[in-house]
A = this chain, B = another copy of it.
Amino acid sequence: MSQAHERPTLEAVARLAGVSRATVSRVVNGSPKVAEPIRSAVRRAVEELGYIPNAAARSLVTQRTDSIALVLPESASRVFSDDPFFPSIIHGVSQELDAADKQLVLMMTNTVAGYERVERYTTARHVDGVLFASTHGVDPLPGQLSRLGVPVVVTGRPLGRSTVPYVDVDHVGGVRAAVRHLLETGHSRIATIAGPQDMVAGIDRLAGYRAELHGSDRRSIVAVGDFTRESGATAMRQLLEDDPLLDAVFVASDLMAHGAITTLRELGRRIPDDVAVVGFDDFDISRYTDPPLTTVRQPILELGRELARQLLRVIAGEDVDQAVVLPTELVVRASA
Interface residues of A in 242-296 (CB under 8 A from B): 258, 262, 283-285, 288, 290
Per-position binary interface string of chain A over residues 299-313, scored 1 when its CB falls under 8 Å from any chain B CB and 0 otherwise: 011000000000000
- Could you tell me if B301 and A81 are in contact, using CB atoms closer than 8 angstroms? yes
A23 within 8 A of B: no
Is there a chain B Cβ closer than 8 Å to A220's Cβ? no
Q: Are B123 and A52 in contact (CB under 8 A)?
A: yes
In whole angstroms, what is the CA distance A138 to B62 when docked? 38
Residues from chain B with Cβ under 8 Å of A95 in the complex:
77, 110
Q: Given the known A-B contacts A84-B81, A301-B81, are A60 and B52 also in contact in the complex, defined by CB atoms under 8 Å?
A: no
Binds B, one of A100-108, A207-215, A326-334: A100-108
Which residues of chain B are within 8 angstroms of A196 by Cβ–Cβ distance?
none
Known: A54-B124, A114-B98. Is A91-B104 also a contact (CB below 8 A)?
Answer: no
A141 to B283: give the CA distance in the assembly, Å: 34
Q: Which residue of the partner chain, among B1, B4, B81, B88, contacts A80 with CB atoms under 8 Å?
A: B88
A149 at the interface (CB under 8 A from B): yes
Would you call A219 an interface residue if the criterion is a C-beta within 8 Å of the partner chain's C-beta atoms?
A: no
Shortest C-beta distance, A326 to chain B (Å), equals: 17
Question: Is A44 among interface residues, defined by CB-CB distance under 8 A?
Answer: no
Q: Which residues of B contact A229 (CB under 8 A)?
A: 288
* CB atoms of A67 and B105 under 8 A apart: yes
Q: How many residues of A contact B (CB 8 A)?
A: 60
Instruction: Report how far A55 CA is from B60 CA in the complex, Å.
Output: 8
Report copies per complex. Answer: 2
Q: Mark A152-185, 1 if CB is under 8 A from B, else 0.
A: 0000000000000000000000000000000000
A105 to B103, CA, bound (A): 7
What are the residues of chain B within 8 A of A284 when measuring CB–CB? Answer: 81-82
User: Chain B residues near A86 (CB, 8 Å)?
Assistant: 87
**Whole-angstrom CA separation of A2 from B123 in the bound complex:** 12
Which chain B residues border A21 with CB–CB below 8 Å? none
Q: Is the CB of B107 within 8 A of A103?
A: yes
Most chain B beta-carbon neighbours within 10 Å: one of A88, A123, A258, A283: A123
Residues of B within 8 A of A77 (CB): 91, 94-95
**Across the interface, do A290 and B288 meet the contact criterion of CB distance under 8 Å?**
no
Give the distance to chain B from A69, nearest Cβ to Cβ, in Å: 9
Report the Cα distance A30→B65, complex, angstroms: 26
Give the Cβ gap from A44 to chain B, nearest Cβ, in Å: 18
Does A120 sit within 8 A of B, measured CB to CB?
A: yes
Q: Are A52 and B258 in contact (CB under 8 A)?
A: no
List 13 contacting pairs A-B, 8 Å CB cutoff, sorted by A: A56-B60, A56-B65, A57-B60, A60-B60, A77-B91, A77-B94, A81-B300, A82-B284, A86-B87, A87-B87, A103-B126, A104-B106, A262-B288
- Give residues in A with beta carbon < 8 Å to B: 1-4, 7, 52-57, 59-60, 65, 67, 77, 80-82, 84, 86-88, 90-91, 94-95, 98-99, 101, 103-108, 110-111, 114, 117, 120-121, 123-126, 147-150, 229, 258, 262, 283-285, 288, 290, 300-301
